[in-house]
Amino acid sequence: MNNFKKYSIPYFVWIIIFTGIPLLLMILFAFSTIETFSVYSFDFTDYEFTFQTFSKLADMAFLKAFGRSIFYAVVATVLCILIGYPIAYFISSSKFKHKYLILLLFIMPMWTNMLLRIQTINNLLSENSFLSNVFHISINLTEFKSLKIILVMTIVYLPFMILPIYTVLEKIDKSYVEASNDLGANPQKSFLKITLPLSLKGVVSGVMMVFLPAAMGFTIPQIVTNGDPNYRMVGQLIERQFKSSHTFFNIGSLWSLIIIIFVLGSLYVISKIDEEGETLL
């Protein structure tokens, strides 16, 4: 086994360069007064350790964006559960010989470019859309930007809810349901007492897989609202700290660290609920 350890060296080097060093720089900036960064002019002598940046956590712009992000993500996640669970259950309990082909229909959009998907869905929910021009069906949500953001999130991240739930449902021993039926339970009671509790592991994994990108992303609100500051989410706020004409790497790094801690906490919850990682297979 030791002979194969040397083959892992390139992966460790990759992780150190593209994950470890950026994370270290992020921590460095978060606890410093350094606002800008350039590989050509960066000097460690300019570094000054401080907790001053932490006062920006109480910034109203950040708090509003963070609260808005959590609200949108929670609603989108609930919608994904309400839509995704019945779909996963139907596919799992169906008698189709090649049920994976049905599942493939929901997974296939994930193989396309995400920006293209978001732009297409956004167009379908706008005034001058493909549906209105060809089928004369208008779903114009241009004036309801919050609703539009939530719906786009739901459609984009729905496969991430369906897949883990379906995986768990497929692994449930069907003899449990049969035994429940033999004992006199009707199908509804068997579902509530057997299937639903055993599938909650997949639901929790699906919630994390939908909630995290929905809450922390910036692409969907940016495209849907065309950068409207009244609907700005935390991902957009962080992006502006690094890419605007006035960069604030220390503030952006601190906010990014908060998000990373949030993500790591969520992954820890998944690891405790699904120790074998079966919902991700």
The pLDDT tens digits for 8-18 are 788 888 888 88
d(CA 103, CA 4): 37
pLDDT for the residue numbered 226: 85
pLDDT in tens, 185-241: 787 888 888 888 888 888 988 888 898 889 888 889 988 888 888 888 888 888 887
Give residue 26's Cα distance to chain centre.
Answer: 22
Beta-carbon contacts of 183 under 8 Å, excluding residues fewer than 6 positions away, are: none
- The DSSP call for residue 31 is T
The verdict on pTM exceeding 0.85 is no
As a whole number of angstroms, the distance between CA 172 and CA 176 comes to 8
2 vs 236, residue with greater confidence: 236
- DSSP code of residue 33: S
pLDDT digits (tens, 9 = 90+) for 97-120: 777 788 888 888 888 888 888 888
> What band does 281 get if pLDDT is binned at 50, 70 and 90?
very low
Tokens in use for 39?
A: 């590989």
